């Protein structure tokens, strides 16, 4: 379970972004967190691969 506190302005912006995608705010936030986590893990994997193979 994840609990977030946010101000009304941020919530309104999230509602707008979620509505554009036909999603709930909760689903939008979770997908964003998953995407950001994937991006970070992918970048780390690329860096580790470059270290392993000696790429600059």
The two tokens of residue 45 are 């994997």
Instruction: Catalogue the long-range contacts made by 26-35 (C-beta closer than 8 Å, 24 or more residues apart).
Output: 29/4, 30/2
Given a cut of 70, the residues of the chain with pLDDT beneath it are 55-56
Eight-class DSSP state of 8:
H
In a domain, 2, yes or no: no
pTM strictly above 0.85: no
In a domain, 6, yes or no: no
Q: What is the pLDDT of residue 8?
A: 94
Q: What is the pLDDT of residue 55?
A: 65
CA distance 29 to 2: 10
Q: What is the pLDDT of residue 56?
A: 57
In a domain, 18, yes or no: no
The two tokens of residue 2 are 């994840």
Q: Which residues form the domain of 39?
A: 24-56
């Amino acid at each position: 379970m994840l609990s977030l506190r946010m101000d009304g302005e941020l919530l309104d912006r999230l509602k707008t972004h979620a509505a554009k995608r036909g999603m709930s705010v909760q689903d939008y936030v979770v997908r964003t967190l998953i995407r950001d986590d994937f991006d970070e893990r992918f970048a780390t994997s690329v860096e580790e691969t470059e270290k392993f193979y000696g790429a600059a």
